[in-house]
Amino acid sequence: MSRSSMSSKPSPARVLPRTAPDPRWRPGSPVQPFHSEIFAPAGEASGAGLALALARDAMTSLAAGEGEDTRQVLWVQDRAAIRKGGRPCLAGLPQDLRHRLIHVAAATPEDALFALEEGLKCRDLACVIGEIAGNPKALSFTASRRLSLTAEKHGVRLWLVRLDAAPDLSSARMRWQARAAPSAPARWDAAAPGPATWQAELFRARTHAPGQWSLSDDAGTLRLAREPDLDTLAAPDPVHLARPTVGRSLAARIHA
């Protein structure tokens, strides 16, 4: 080593700015996952309601500045989901969706998964909503992984409602527990039903900390009715593996 190289001063290191993303989920987030799951009881329609609200929130936030997204919406149900919760009621849907809903009634979970995957390959769809009851063998981690990869490859988002199901291994990027919550009084008639409200728990996400929210559908816009519990954000639930993940999913880590 030469004397000149030993005496030369090292160049000062550049300090690059580091901006940590906000770990708290909020309605209207510009970062929207391509595959989400919502676990909910079948008898109160909270799963389908929250799935539709989250889907519309994503479509609105992603289309900001680009005009309204008027593509079709695919809704797939297996027979058990229809028996437990009924079919979507057109009169109860938001007016801008009634004329562009495509409903598929599948006989089995296998048929429902096939329809969901085929729908995710169609870029002419705004999004896909699915409802599957219980924990069928067909909805394995491999099947959920296929849905995630297909959604991400073709750019079509999926919200899969799991009716009366236990959280199992899945590659879904966001996983919610949903329950119906009391609605606030209607603005002009205190005796009338208020806006739909859900108690929603985000127990797994790639980019957000877990937490609980009270969410409501205010004239077609998803609103945050109550701030998340900071204690819940700080203390992940070990039963649900409730913590943000980086890189591969928790299920992928288990299988590794």
Instruction: Identify the pLDDT of residue 247.
Output: 37
Q: Please determine, for residue 255, whether its predicted confidence score (pLDDT) is greater than 80.
A: no
Q: What is the CATH number of the domain that holds 44?
A: 3.40.50.300
Structural domain range at position 90: 31-180+191-255
Number of domains in the chain: 1
Q: Rounded to whole angstroms, how far apart are CA atoms 55 and 42?
A: 19
pTM: 0.78
Tens-digit pLDDT profile for residues 217-226: 877 788 877 5
223-240 burial, b if ≥16 CB within 10 A, otherwise e? bebeebeeebbeebeeee
Tens-digit pLDDT profile for residues 42-99: 988 899 999 999 999 999 888 766 777 889 999 999 999 999 999 999 888 888 889 9
Asked whether residue 213 is assigned to any structural domain, the reply reads: yes
Q: Please determine, for residue 144, whether its predicted confidence score (pLDDT) is greater than 60.
A: yes
Asked whether residue 210 is assigned to any structural domain, the reply reads: yes
Asked whether residue 2 is assigned to any structural domain, the reply reads: no
Asked whether residue 240 is assigned to any structural domain, the reply reads: yes
- The answer to whether the Cα torsion of 97, 102, 103, 108 is positive or negative is negative
Asked whether residue 203 is assigned to any structural domain, the reply reads: yes
Instruction: Identify the pLDDT of residue 95.
Output: 87
Asked whether residue 20 is assigned to any structural domain, the reply reads: no
Q: What is the mean pLDDT of residues 146-152?
A: 98
Q: Please determine, for residue 209, whether its predicted confidence score (pLDDT) is greater than 80.
A: yes
Asked whether residue 11 is assigned to any structural domain, the reply reads: no
Asked whether residue 133 is assigned to any structural domain, the reply reads: yes
